[in-house]
Amino acid sequence: MSAPPQLSIIIPSYRPSEALGRTLQSLRDQAGDVSREVIVVDCSPDDAAEQIIGDATDVTLVRVQERFTPGIGRNLGAERASAPCLVFIDADVCLSRRSLEVIATQHAAGHKMFGGALELAAGPDSDWRSAVEHDFFNHENQSERPAGPRESLSSALMIVDREFFWEHGGFSDIPRMQDTELCRRVRSDGGEIHFFPGIQGFQTQNADLPATLRKARIVGRNSYALRFKDKPPATTRAALAATLPLLALAKTTRIVGRHLRHSGSQRATRVVLSSPLLYACGLAWMYGGYQGLIRNDGISGER
C-alpha cells in the first residue's frame, strides 16, 4: 500500500508546449523519497496535454471545457488535492532535484506559505529577449538571495498549506495578478510569507520584446487596479499622475539594483547590458499605470 502524498503538485495548463513534458520529468527526477501527487488542470481546446502526458500513471489530468483564469485552474487542482501541502508551479517551470525535499522539510517545520528561487532556464529557447522578460518580472527570486520573510510570491512557484489556502479563500477569479492579490490578503490577515532559495525553479521564457513591453504595460495597469479598488479622490489621482514617472524610475532602478546585488558576474553583466531595455519596460509599466488611472475599470483581462 503506497503512502499518502505529502505534497500535491498543481499545474494549470492551456495549450501546453513541450515545456510541460520537461516540467513533469523534473518532478520524476526529484531526489529523496517525498511522496507526491501531480495534478495537471487543463482547459485547452485540443488534446495537447493528453499527448504530452501520454500513458503516464503518475499524473492526474483534469480537463475543463471552458477556459479558466490561472487562479481558478489552481483552485480546481487544490479541490482535487489530497496532500496537506499544495505546490503550485507553472507548466514551464522545472524544479531542481532537491526542491521537493526542501519543500516537505519547510512545510513540516510549520511554514504555511512560501516560495523559492525562479531562474531563467538555459536552452535553445533562451536569448536576450528571454532575459529581458525574466529580469523585469522575476527580480525578487534570485537563488543568491538569503532566506527570509517576503511581501509577495509568484504563483509560478508558490507553496501553501492546504488548510491555510482555503482559510484565506484561495485564488480570486481575476484575469491577472492573482498571486499578488492573494499575498496581499494573507498579509492583511496577519499571515506570514517566506522565501527559501533551496527551492529552485527554472522557467522557460520566450516572449519577444513587444510582448514583454505589452506585459509590463498590463501589469502597470493592473497594479493600479489592485491598489485602488474604488475610484480614489481627485487629489489622490492628481498626486499619483504627477509622481508616476518617479515611481517607474524607482521601480526599474530597484529591479536593476536587486539583480546586481544578488547575481553572479555573468548575470550582472547581462543586466547592465540590457538595462536600457529594462528601463523601456519601466516606461511601459508607467503607461499602464496612467491607463488604470484614467479608465479606473478594474483588473484588465488583456493578454
Return d(Cα 157, Cα 199) in angstroms, integer: 9
pLDDT score for 17: 83
Cell for 88?
503550485
Give the tens place of pLDDT for each residue, 142-174: 888 999 999 999 999 999 999 999 999 999 988
Kindly tell me if the per-residue pLDDT of 301 is higher than 80.
Answer: no
**Contact (CB, 8 A) for 140 and 150:** yes
Mean pLDDT (whole number) for 239-264: 93
Please spell the DSSP secondary structure of 153-208, one letter per residue.
--TTEEEEEHHHHHHTT-S-S-SS-HHHHHHHHHHHTT---EEEEEEEEEE-----
Which residues are CB-neighbours of 1 under 8 A, at least 6 positions away? none
What's at 41, amino acid-wise? V
Distance between CA atoms of residues 103 and 116, nearest Å: 9
> pLDDT grade, residue 125 (50/70/90)?
low
Instruction: Band the pLDDT of 264: cuts 50, 70, 90.
Output: confident
- Averaged pLDDT, 20-45: 93
CB 119 within 8 A of CB 49: no
* Dihedral sign, Cα of residue 272, residue 156, residue 116, residue 58: negative
pLDDT(1) > 70: no
pLDDT given for residue 123 in this prediction: 72
The amino acid that residue 50 corresponds to is: E
Q: Is the pLDDT of residue 88 over 80?
A: yes
Q: Is 266 helix (H, G, I), strand (E, B) or coil?
A: helix
Residue 213 has what pLDDT?
Answer: 96
Question: What integer pLDDT is reported at residue 54 of this predicted model?
Answer: 87
Instruction: Report the alpha-carbon distance of residue 110 to residue 105 in Å, rounded.
Output: 9
Residue 146, CA distances (Å) to 107, 261, 269 in order: 18, 12, 21
HSE (side-chain half, CA atoms, 13 Å) at 106: 27
Residue scoring higher pLDDT (110 or 141): 110
Q: What is the pTM of this model?
A: 0.92
Share of the chain above pLDDT 70, in %: 98
